[in-house]
Chains A and B, each alone.
Chain A
Amino acid sequence: MTITAPSFELNFDVLPPEIQRFKETVREFAQEVVLPRAQQLDQAPAADFDWDLVKQGHALGLTRVAVPKQYGGLGLGMLGISVAMEQVAAACPGTALIFGATMLGQTPILYSGDPQLQARYLPLFAGDEPILACNAVTEDEAGCDLIIPENARHAVNVMSARREGDHYVLNGSKKFITNAKFATFASVFANMEGHEGATGLTSFIVDLDQPGVTRGPVADKMGYRACLGSELTFENVIVPVENVIGGELNGMAINIAQSNMARASVAGISTGVAQGALDKALKWCGERVQGGQLLYKHQFSAQKIAEMASKIDASRMLYMYAANKVDNQLPAPEYEPAVAKLFADRVAIEVADTAVSLIGARGYLREYGVEKMLRDSYGARIYEGTPEVLALAITDCLYRVSEAE
């Protein structure tokens, strides 16, 4: 009997050759350069930063993965970014986020489709010296309210913008901004004066080396210690009109679009964290003998390992599927990246937790590095959409579909 089925392309084993090659290069960098330094970066004081690591990553193109080739980038899109983020995160998610946050800072510029804005900013990443960017949304009093459209009117004390002639004046501050300490420019969201809460949110590209910008102290985080998160304060900062993305009052839409584009790559980071934890658990369970046999041969351990591996494969497929959709659909979809991130973030925590348990007391020690992965695993559950924010986005899509039917 022959089975005939409609043919369609869905092959997650075969990446486009350019992305496959890039993945391998990044993997080598992650395993040989990042991993040996991960422990030290984690234990160092909060404000320590490894520029050499950034320089090496930049040389591979990690600061310009999605930047189109015409601007000197790699032009590998969200799939390229996500795959690369998984590889770096398997060694150290904090290091991955240095590059990830830079790409987030670039996203509104890419999204704008404005050739002048792109020409002014994107070639910065094509030099031999690394340049970082950042994405500044979160504030002291306004967190999720700046990313949930329905709640925008409830946001309080949001950073303000007012137009004066051919420029805007920005006042306010942002919190927990990855790369703010060193970034050359930031994608910044501020509320137009006279608009309630964050209903007048507008997206700006702001040069950070200018009067009125203050980079605050570095936050002492539980994980992701290789990347630095700090406050950014803006005091009468001048931004030319050309640096508005998508026009006044469209900031929330830009923010959502940006998140839709970026979430697949964060799911890539979480998948990497899970993979890194699984790798450590596999090694241990393949060497440790208890009860007369290797740990992985005990059925309870075997089941744990099998569950970990299955979850990671599922995470990977979800993020690759989402990233591929982002690269091929305009506007970027909301549903698939949110699903991928929701799932992968949870898997990272579960897998890291199981890895700590499989390794026993050593899993609880700093030197084995797996407790770091557990601490790190919580990070992605917070940035670029908490589970609650993602749930709202997902259900929004589900009900939108059924209402349309």
Chain B
Amino acid sequence: MTRTLTADQPTAVAGRYTASILRLHERLHYPGLLEAVRGEPLHHHDHGDGLVTLAVRDSQLPLRYLRGILGFRLAQYLRLGWICPSLVQRAALFHEPFRPAHGVEDVHIVTLSAESGRILGYVGLSGSYDPEPLPLDAPGRPRLATELAHRIDLLGPYAAPELHTHHAFEVKRFLRDQSMPPGALASLVPWHIVLGFGRSLLALGGPQRRMLAVGDAKEEVAIRHLTLMGLDLTVVDGTSPSLPRSELMWPIYEQDTIAKPFVGRLPEGFRADMDTIETYLTEARGTRNAHALVEQLARRRKEATQP
């Protein structure tokens, strides 16, 4: 008898393989990561709330730790159903594949448990593949992954003499350890990641805030957060993203809610927003008020949009 398997029905072997990879990453902790960073991190936040957040470039991490981070990503993608288990199993992946050497280094924003070194949250910024910077509207410009999935040109409309492809970073989806029990610590992880993300954008953009953060996200979730944190966001409606079934990440576009592509720029007051979040995170435990923070940020957004 011949049995046909469709790509969205992982085999029992694939199921067992991925379960085993999840167990593997649950066991891996990296308390030594902080000390292993070469040079100054782009961002480092450690104020005794039980979490430590770092933002580092690829070359600042020994490969063992980079693999650990990419492993965390793979595990969360598997938990969220964003990656194809059968392809993961067939390729014997235990971490998301390394990107081949490229023009601009990737940045990893990682939140760890200060006590155990377990990775609890992550967001990444992928740098351009172009060996030499290209104008954003250069004909034949290699498309970013988001552009390919949504079949649109996201960067072209932002073409300007002072901007080129090395200023564009693709935002990898925000991830939180799905196995973390809810509680005070779990609720701080997204703020740590948001702060690390924002500080990294500022560092990459330099004094002129010259950078574009490109990606796709669900409107009610990440897009709302990106807006709240102060990014000047343009969201593109009406795309129907998909990836061929040979691509590891094809299931990410088969979810109930479709992710929308966006381009984010750094507005003038962005640093102040980050300072506000930082102040919130450094406040003593009993006095921290997340609602007040959200209200404060929302008020700022309102003021900024009012003529």
Write the residues of chain A forming the contact surface with B, with a CB cutoff of 8 angstroms: 59, 69, 71-72, 115-116, 118-121, 123-124, 126-129, 131, 166, 184, 240, 242
Main DSSP-derived SS at the A contact region: helix
Would B92 and A118 count as touching, CB distance under 8 A? yes
Would A131 and B27 count as touching, CB distance under 8 A? yes
**How many angstroms from the CA of A131 to the CA of B25 in the assembled complex?**
13
Q: Does B209 contact A (CB under 8 A)?
A: no
Would A120 and B94 count as touching, CB distance under 8 A? yes
* Min CB gap A18→B, angstroms: 15
| Chain A, residue nearest B117 (CB) | A128
* Min CB gap B198→A, angstroms: 28
Q: Does B29 contact A (CB under 8 A)?
A: yes
Main DSSP-derived SS at the B contact region: helix
Contact of B94 among A119, A127, A128 (CB under 8 A): A119
Would B16 and A127 count as touching, CB distance under 8 A? no
Write the residues of chain B forming the contact surface with A, with a CB cutoff of 8 angstroms: 12-13, 16-17, 20-21, 24, 27-33, 63-64, 67-68, 71, 89, 92-95, 117
**How many angstroms from the CA of A375 to the CA of B67 in the assembled complex?**
43
Instruction: Please indicate the chain B residues that have their CB under 8 angstroms from the CB of A128 in the complex.
Output: 29-33, 117
Would B92 and A123 count as touching, CB distance under 8 A? no
**How many angstroms from the CA of A29 to the CA of B13 in the assembled complex?**
42
Contact of A240 among B16, B24, B27 (CB under 8 A): B16
| Chain B, residue nearest A115 (CB) | B92
* Min CB gap A351→B, angstroms: 38
Would A126 and B68 count as touching, CB distance under 8 A? yes
Extra inter-chain contacts (15) besides given A128-B117, A129-B28, CB under 8 Å: A72-B68, A119-B21, A119-B93, A119-B94, A121-B24, A124-B28, A126-B68, A127-B27, A128-B29, A128-B31, A128-B32, A129-B117, A166-B12, A242-B16, A242-B17
* Min CB gap A134→B, angstroms: 16
**How many angstroms from the CA of A240 to the CA of B20 in the assembled complex?**
11
* Min CB gap B171→A, angstroms: 27
* Min CB gap B93→A, angstroms: 7
Pick 14 A–B contacts, CB within 8 A, sort by A. A59-B32, A69-B63, A119-B92, A120-B24, A123-B24, A123-B67, A124-B27, A126-B68, A127-B28, A128-B30, A128-B33, A129-B27, A129-B117, A242-B17
| Chain B, residue nearest A207 (CB) | B23
Would A123 and B28 count as touching, CB distance under 8 A? yes
Instruction: Please indicate the chain B residues that have their CB under 8 angstroms from the CB of A131 in the complex.
Output: 27
Instruction: Please indicate the chain A residues that have their CB under 8 angstroms from the CB of B12 in the complex.
Output: 166
Would B24 and A124 count as touching, CB distance under 8 A? yes
Would A120 and B13 count as touching, CB distance under 8 A? no
